[in-house]
Amino acid sequence: MSQALLIIDIQAGLCTGKYAVFEAERVIGNVNRISEQARAQGVPVVVIQHEEDEGSLVYNSAGWQLAESLVATPQDVFIRKGASDSFHKTELQAKLQSLGITELIVCGMQSDFCVNSTVRRGLALGYPITLVSDAHSTLDNSVLTAEQIIAHHNETLSQLSSFGVRAQLKTTEEVLSR
């Protein structure tokens, strides 16, 4: 199978300040290690950036920019999106198809929004997915802590079976040892 690594929304507005996700720098460190290996192995790295009409993720604003500590290269594929689903009204699916991609590795922000939506859509499109269990994050909400939300999404997404293909959980170390 031909893999691609999706790095979802690791942007300044989600990694610093009021809306900084839980353990952002640890997550970014894990993502950087995975992406470095992916690039060395010729696995395409797809960097996805969310944008909104107002707020901290307005296109080209300081918050929209990639997080300062995230390593991205000119060889990476860059995708802009306006919905939580990275496939919705973007060129992501066409790009993956043109590269012959049949399997996805997913990491990024936020576990309960864009990571969740993208994993579910990817499964619906027939991609087996490796969700890197310690390389996605979110923030607390009024009901659950970020740690609980992350654990919940790891469990829920890895249990989905109705699409035929599955999302399997792997830690950063497990992904790096392949």
Would you name the residues annotated as active-site residues? 114
Residue 38 CA to residue 30 CA, distance in Å, equals 12
How many CB atoms sit inside 10 A of residue 27's CB? 26
Helices then strands, counting H and E runs in the chain, come out as 6, 6
Contact 2, 101 (CB under 8 A): yes
Q: Which pair of tokens denotes residue 73?
A: 């290269």
Q: Return the closest-CA partner of residue 77 out of 38, 51, 113.
A: 38
DSSP structure string for 83-133 = SSSTTTTSSHHHHHHHTT--EEEEEEE-IIIIIHHHHHHHHHTT--EEEEE
Residue (of 30, 47, 39) closest to 3 by Cα position: 39
| C-alpha distances in Å from residue 57, one per residue of 15, 26, 53, 124 | 12, 22, 8, 27
